[in-house]
Amino acid sequence: MKRRFNTRSLATRLILGSAVWIVAALVVGGLLLAGLFQGHVQRIFDDRQAIMLDSLIVVTRINDDGRLELTQDPGDPEFERPLSGRYWQITPQSGAPLRSRSLWDQTLQLSGTAKQTQGRRRYIVRGPRDEELRVLERDITLPGSDKVYRYAVAIDYAEIEGLVQPFIVTLAWSLGVLGIGLVIGAMVQVRYGLRPLGHIREALSAIRSGRTERLEGNFPTEVRPLADEINLLLDHIGEVVERARTHVGNLAHALKTPLTVLTNEAGTEEGQLANTVRRQTDTMRRRVDHYLTRAQTAATAGVIGARLDARPVLDDLARTLARIHRFSHLDIRIVAQDEIPAFRGDRQDLEEMAGNLMENACKWATEKVRVIADGADGELRIAIEDDGPGLPVADRKKALARGGRLDETVQGSGLGLSIVQEIASLYGGAFTLGDSAMGGLRAVLTLPAAPTEAMRPAAE
Amino acid sequence: MRALVVEDDQDLARQLTDALTENGYAVDTAHDGEEGHFLGDTEPYDIVVLDIGLPVMDGIEVLEQWRSAERAMPVLVLTARDRWREKIAGLDAGADDYVTKPFQMEEVLARIRALVRRSTGNTSPVLTVGAVSLDPSASHVTVEDRQIKLTAHEYKLLSYLMHHKGKVLSRTELIEHIYAQDFDKDSNTIEVFIGRLRRKLGVDVIHTIRGLGYKLSDEDEAAV
């Protein structure tokens, strides 16, 4: 069976709970109010009926013939209007009763079950129109007679109902409106009250998508410990990842010296052993470099909360490379606008990509290396060009293959370009090779830029 | 040419030492940072091969101390850490070049040759004085395209003279640069080697500067 409400939702639970409580309270309150009002109206009618009865008694006397008669009208015009719903009747112990004009030709059958208080009896009978009549009755012995007369005043019950009914209708719809208002209020309150949880969810999703590193914001006292715990957990995960990364790094680095020894021991010797050692150490070297790059980059690529000004990184690299190539008098220059977008990533990764490309350019350049940094549409673009011999289109793909090395005579591990491509793709960026107007190779890195201050979501 | 190898891995240190020796260098080896620092601080090396990850004293620290003591010999840094962060740190500390592990010995030798050549103010990979040519990459000496066979010590001496052509070099300096540290040095041997070199080369390029030492040049020098 399909569940109509998702009771796993805190909001639904709270709203349902409030709604049940509100409806119950309003129904009970409404019944109580209606009952009180009805009782009150009835008491007023009862009091008026008692006065009518007393007035009737006052206007009767025993005349000189020993017969009962009215000295004047009982006062209420309704007693005169036929079948008005208000009647009186005085019944002697024997003989025909005296009746109000309103009874017309009928007689009230006064025989209901009586409730006696202070000599008065109350009960309900059927009236001339078959209406429900509320009767107040008293036995009186008038002066000048020893006979007992039953004085009765009857009022149509519908008169009371006529007053009570509109009140109940009004009460019902106002309580209904109040109920709806309260439920809406409860919903608003629940939504408002649970909003910090929504903020936590958004903050967590921001962490997962890499926009921030920690749960930030002013959380209420009740939620603060949860946010703090999550932050501690994030720190812990960060430490574990960092530790694992360090271990991978240490292992990879520790393997490099033995690999060097094995490679050089095999040297340029011929023979199956030397060949196998060379081949296997080469494979090991590639694997180590591959996983080392991944371990070093993947961990940082996940944390993209950072903003990094690319300019100082490029300047540092240019300075370092100029130092290495100081004897060949290379002209290495950074060409950048004053405001280039910040790189959304880690400093070391940018150093790795730009460093390898700039080193490559320096290796091949005749005299000029240009690094052109600019950006648009949320991207940072770094183009590295040289005036060297360039790279034929057919060779470019090969150069990007893992560990591809085109020229064994120029020193280098040959991993440069593939590492650049790997890191760039881990960041969701792009890396392309083309022709430079200066004659050599033009390598273009397109990387995600950090949002500018204006584009950044406002801090909580 | 004297070289210092500072590398804690015994096998790699041996390979580097062997390769350098084979290429005509007089090589000293240190296996930790402290020993390496001491040697570099006290001996006149023409090239230092320095590993970054060293016990006792880190390679970067060794290098910084040398540079702050104005020890200006060219230093080639070996590092397993191939990230640019580490390369920049090494070069900022005063390294002249770096090679990342794992490397081919040929690559290290080529870098060393380039560093030595540049630090002595030579630009061409083959050193030439008059009719005499010395190719450090092949350890070849030719006179008018005729290959000359030299012993290891003769080659070391000629190589040092060729790298510093036109300069007056004292016997002490020559001894310091052709013998490794623990070698029993005798300054008289220099005269013997010079005599043999003159005979084998057959051209008059090694001039004796009386009271000062020797000078290699293709101009006729009047003996003082």
Whether the model pTM is above 0.90: no
pLDDT by residue for chain A (460 residues), tens only, comes to 445 566 678 888 889 999 999 999 999 999 999 999 999 999 999 999 999 999 999 998 888 888 888 888 887 888 889 988 899 999 888 888 888 988 888 888 887 667 777 788 888 888 888 889 999 999 888 888 888 888 999 999 888 889 899 999 999 999 999 999 999 999 999 989 888 888 888 888 877 766 777 887 788 888 888 888 988 988 888 888 788 878 887 888 788 888 889 988 887 788 899 889 988 988 888 888 878 777 777 555 555 456 788 899 999 899 888 888 877 788 999 988 778 888 888 888 888 899 989 988 998 898 899 999 988 778 899 999 999 888 888 778 777 765 444 444 444 445 578 788 888 888 888 898 888 888 889 999 999 887 765 444 443 3
Please report the pLDDT score of residue A419 as a whole number.
Answer: 80
B125-141, pLDDT tens digit by residue?
899 998 899 999 888 89
Nearest to B80 among A256, A317, A413 (CB): A256
Q: A355 contacts in B (CB within 8 Å)?
A: 84, 87
**Helix, strand, or coil (residue A110):** coil
Nearest to A324 among B12, B81, B91 (CB): B91
Angstroms from A233 CA to nearest CA on chain B:
29
Distance CA A430, CA A449 (A): 13
Q: Please state, in angstroms and as integers, the Cα–Cα distance from residue B159 to each residue in A344, B17, B127, B153, following that order.
A: 53, 18, 9, 10
Radius of gyration of chain A (CA): 51
Radius of gyration of chain B (CA): 18
CA quadruple A282, A295, A410, A329: dihedral, nearest 10: -160
Distance CA A140, CA A148 (A): 6
Angstroms from A235 CA to nearest CA on chain B:
24
Angstroms from B122 CA to nearest CA on chain A:
10
Verify whether the Cβ–Cβ distance A261 to B15 is below 8 Å.
yes
B54-73, pLDDT tens digit by residue?
989 999 999 999 999 999 99
Distance CA B46, CA B119 (A): 9
| β-strands B146-147, B127-129 pairing | unpaired
Please report the pLDDT score of residue A110 as a whole number.
Answer: 80
The separation between CA A372 and the C-alpha centre of its own chain, rounded to angstroms, equals: 45
Please report the pLDDT score of residue A423 as a whole number.
Answer: 84
Nearest to A261 among B11, B82, B96 (CB): B11
Burial tier of B56 (Cβ tally within 10 Å: 0-12, 13-18, 19+): middle
Positive or negative torsion for Cα A430, A431, A432, A438:
positive
Residue A140 neighbours by CB under 8 Å, 6+ apart = A57, A148, A149, A151
Which residue type occupies A21?
W
Residue of B nearest to A252 (CA): B80
Q: B59 contacts in A (CB within 8 Å)?
A: none
B150-183, pLDDT tens digit by residue?
998 899 999 999 999 999 999 889 988 988 887 7
Q: B15 contacts in A (CB within 8 Å)?
A: 261, 264-265
Please report the pLDDT score of residue A257 as a whole number.
Answer: 87
Residue of A nearest to B121 (CA): A327
Please report the pLDDT score of residue B38 as a whole number.
Answer: 95
B6-21, pLDDT tens digit by residue?
999 999 999 999 999 9
Rounded average pLDDT over B203-214: 89
Please report the pLDDT score of residue A305 as a whole number.
Answer: 56
Please report the pLDDT score of residue A343 as a whole number.
Answer: 86
Verify whether the Cβ–Cβ distance B100 to A257 is below 8 Å.
no
